[in-house]
Structure 1
Amino acid sequence: MFHRYGVKDSKQALFDVLDGKVLATACNSGIQMQSSEFQVPNFKEHSRKLSDNFRTTKARWQKNRDQKEEEKVKNRWEGKAKKNVDVNAFDTKFTKNDFTMGDVLGTGQFGSVFEAKSKRTGKAVAIKVIFNRLSIYTEKSIVEREVDIQKELRHENIVKLYTSFKTKYAIFFVLELLTGTLHSFMKTKKANVLSVNEIARMTQDVSKALVYHRRGVIHRDLKPQKVLHSDAKTYKISDFGTATDERDDTFCGTLDFMAPEVLCRKKQTTAVDCFALGLIIHLCNEGRLPFLHADGQACDEMKKKCKYEPPADMNLKIQEITRNLIKREAKDRWTAEQVITSQLVRDYQHQMQDKIFKQELADL
């Protein structure tokens, strides 16, 4: 009598023929067998050994993969000097006891952000807290990268990193406090749609921040939740935890705002941020993203083909920008500098200058 359990897997790790005409294979989903009538005195014990051998092989494969990842991390842009030492970018002048922690502002992939106050000065700040995993190469790379990049970023449209410090169990980033986001601001609008002037202001500020592309730094996770604004309605980009330079090809970001080359696992450049900005501008104008299925879910295949056509009723100045940002080929997209010099942004700047002049004239 013939008994069958599963099928032979093309990715089998082990193969064995037992006395009694037993064919046993081990694959990613466990042990699978084909057998005929047989008598095996200790088949249970042999199956256990076979399973153990498979787990050993799988563990060896995992170890090799981890070693390759470690080697990749060691050779990243931070430099060879840091590859065998602890992160040395943290401030020793501050501790958690210097701040009064308040409400949670948000939670992300690597930690949470709290509202806080300096006990010494009373200054309100935001503190990002992440679990200290500096012993793990991949996590160490992310933390080092965020500290090193943010220490160098000094721009009116980028959230300030004041200082950072660590304990045995956590790492703390003391940041400029901005409680509003573009995402939350859109929710206050009818149909989640902004006015042309509001879109122009956001486009101007985000593009100015992205001028850091000149230094080869990519954000790679640009989205409305990471575009914050102050009481003066100045927009600032937050969270450069996923930022890196152009030599790093790690797959990361938020699917809804990923460029075609990221989805296709191709080389990433600063153009991925410009593509995301184009999607954000379209979202602000239409209340929904392009490249959606009928049920409203994002379609990666449509985005890979990237046959973008703006709605006929979209403002022509906004169309000019989205058409030139939402392009399949990275080399064909506008840069941040080109967005700043677009008709939409220039007209907005002229309006603001006229407004300031009229106010100064009225104050005479």
Structure 2
Amino acid sequence: MGNVCCRDDSRQQRGYLLNIIVDEIDTSPNPEASKPPESKVLLSEQVSNKAGIEENSAQIENNKCAYSEVHQEPEQQQQQAVVLKEEQYKNSNILQSQKITTEKIKAEIMKSSQEVDSKSKKRIKLGFDIFVKQKEGSIGQHYNFGKVLGQGAFGKVWKVTHKTTGLIRAIKQIKKSSIIKEEEERLFSEMNILKNLDHPHIVKLFELYQDENNYYLVTEYLSGGELFDRIKKMSSFSESIAADYIRQILLATLHCHEQNIVHRDLKPENIIFISEDPQSQLKVIDFGTSRKFDHQKAMSKRLGTPYYIAPEVLGHSYTEKCDIWSCGVILYILLCGYPPFVGKTENQILEKVKLGKFTFDPDDWDTVSKEAKDFITKLLRMDANQRLSAKQALEDPWLVKYTPSTQINKKVLNNLRQFQAETILKQALMSYMVTQMSTQKEIQDLQKEFQRLDVNNDGFLSKDELLKGYLQIQTDNKLVEDEVERILEMIDINRSGQIDFSEFCMAAMNQEKLLSVQRVEQAFKIFDQNGDGFISKKELEAIMGDLGDDVWNQILTDCDNNGDGQISYEEFVKMLKNKKL
């Protein structure tokens, strides 16, 4: 799974790119390849070289899937009476205007400790990834299929609507008969990698279905188009905009590298804007060429795209820093409009990459700062050992100069403090609502707050980072440490010792909004799969995986008030409403 997508005849109509099957081509000269001149050529005048490279592979038909329709995220329906209205803390907005009082914190810590001590609850890991799994059966039971956004030899890409929530998503339909076993293995490899990546700048995978004839990959629908298209339109960008874009790409890259995942095909075509808004954030897509790596063992398989591939990849021995080289090429293009390594044929481009020599033509670079050019040089060092890491790149003076404000939003910190989800089922439900039922707008509103707290840029919030955040609004170190310990215990539902992005969103989002009557009703309908008005153990396991009798019995103890061995809608609502649960 990876770079090949279905492409419409009109390149201008590409609104969004979902890449599924890897485009692997030979690195030998290709007479049919596009032939940019030796000298600089604006990308707006070039034909993009979409070919992915893999040793000893034949060129596969380019089937990029072009999304021609621009989607406007539907307006959130008017929020109805909220589930937590009566039990919500009275002072939910207090931190907007004043500091947390020592008395309030002490009281809450003591109250929380008493509640935990009074119930010896069983704790289980409830990561966001438990909801992303392969499912069998008719996908049409869950989604209304809309317009075909693109198609090719391997299948179609559809714009779809989730029947229960009304959320818009994208589905790549892949014909089983059209893919070989190796490509099928890549499909599952990409799913397993993507399901474990939880980051604001990485495309979100929701689920994978299969029936007798097809696989269906369900992802979020990104409607803002490729970075490549904006480069063609703009030719080049100001330093501040270029810094903002490359910083988002590097944040996604660092998150991958911290989990020993290398992308191996970073390029403007694999970077998509969430919406058409000029201020829209970016997301990295297409993990078909990605893999887990071992720091003690170099990788050797030649994968990538000619303009962006690192020289050491062509030499069969490379590390995750091949991604940093690609980031350097992307930044070079953002600031001048053309790549640093060009040639009339694909082979000539690769020869230039092997040499690694590039220049900053004064005609195009005189207005660009020395700091920006120095940064590019450090990203494009031939010796990968001397090349910056993703972490070092994010700390470079040029990039730091354009880093957004780190002023913490007190209201968000207050929401984290007030978050309550003592029962297993409530934790699971709130995690599900955030990861599977929230709109892009709701999540995007919290994204910047998460990144302000994430001081080391790794995509997780550690205990130390939370301490630094809370010490901005409370000076009592011991009190803040106790409070952060309590917050971690409550919010870290996958028991990783830190808070990931989805866990942060679950707790930081306004709870009245998250637990609206409408969303609670929708969640119950999703879990109540046979529609009989009750949630059984089997139905819960269909979404959460095997629970075991001990966990199910704990859930029944928490929620099953009438002892009938299942959960009614009334019990479901009461469990979510009652903060003591």
- Pick the TM interval, shorter chain: 0.5 to 0.7
Say if 2:399 is the partner of 1:345.
Answer: yes
1:214 is matched with: 258
Structure-2 separation of matches of 1:332 and 1:106? 42
1:97-108 matched pairs, under 5 angstroms: 97-105=141-149
2:179 maps to 1:129: no
Residue 386 of structure 2 corresponds to residue 324 of structure 1:
no
Cα RMSD, aligned residues only = 3.1
Unmatched 5+ stretches in structure 2:
1-55, 57-131, 410-581
SS at match of 1:158: coil
Amino acid in the other structure paired with 2:313: V
Name the residue aligned to 2:205.
Answer: 161
Distance 1:267 1:183 in 2: 28
User: What residue identity is the alignment partner of 2:396?
Assistant: S
Q: Aligned partners of 1:268 and 1:110: how far apart in 2? A: 31
Q: Deviations over 1:33-60 (max 9, x none)?
A: xxxxxxxxxxxxxxxxxxxxxxxxxxxx
Q: Which of 213, 218, 233 does residue 174 from structure 1 map onto?
A: 218
- 3-state SS of 2:206 partner: strand
SS of equivalent to 2:376: helix
- The 5 A counterparts of 1:255-270 are 255-264=306-315, 266-270=316-320
Alpha-carbon contact 2:154-2:174 (below 8 Å) kept: yes
Deviations 1:103-137 (A, max 9, x none): 44456896553322112221011112223269944
Q: Over residues 8-30 of structure 1, what are the superposed CA-to-partner deviations in whole Å (9 max), with x where a residue is unaligned? A: xxxxxxxxxxxxxxxxxxxxxxx
Letter in 2 for 1:328: M
Residue 78 of structure 1 corresponds to none
- Is this contact kept in 2: 1:105–1:179, CA < 8 A? no
| Alignment partner, residue 201 of structure 1 | 244
Residues 154 and 179 of structure 2 are in contact (CA less than 8 Å); yes or no, is this contact kept in structure 1?
no
What is the alpha-carbon distance in structure 2 between the residues aligned to residue 90 and residue 148 of structure 1? 10
Aligned length: 267
Match of 1:241 in 2: 288
Tell me if structure 2 keeps the 8 A contact 1:220–1:272. yes
8 Å CA contact 1:220–1:253 kept in 2: the answer is yes
More strand by share: 1
In structure 2, do the counterparts of structure 1 residues 201 and 135 end up closer, same or farther at CA, with 3 Å as the change threshold? closer
Q: Which has the larger radius of gyration?
A: 1
CA distance in 2, matches of 1:107, 1:325: 36
Report the equivalent of 1:151. 195
The 3 A distance-change label for structure 1 pair 119 and 291 is same
Q: Which structure carries more relative contact order (alpha carbon 8 Å, separation 6+)?
A: 2
Report the secondary structure of 2:215's partner residue.
strand
Offset from partner CA, 1:225-263 (integer Å, 9 cap, x none) = 111112352111011122112265333222221111222
Q: Is the 8 A contact 2:307 2:342 kept in 1?
A: no
Q: Which runs of 5+ in 1 are unaligned?
A: 1-64, 66-87, 357-364
State the alpha-carbon separation in 2 of the partners of residues 279 and 338 from structure 1: 17
- When normalised by structure 2's length, the TM-score is 0.42
The 1:335–1:93 alpha-carbon spacing in structure 2 relative to 1, beyond 3 Å, is farther
| 1:299 alignment partner, SS class | helix
2:135 is aligned, of 79, 91, 104, to 91
TM-score (norm 1): 0.66
Matches within 5 A, 1:40-51: none
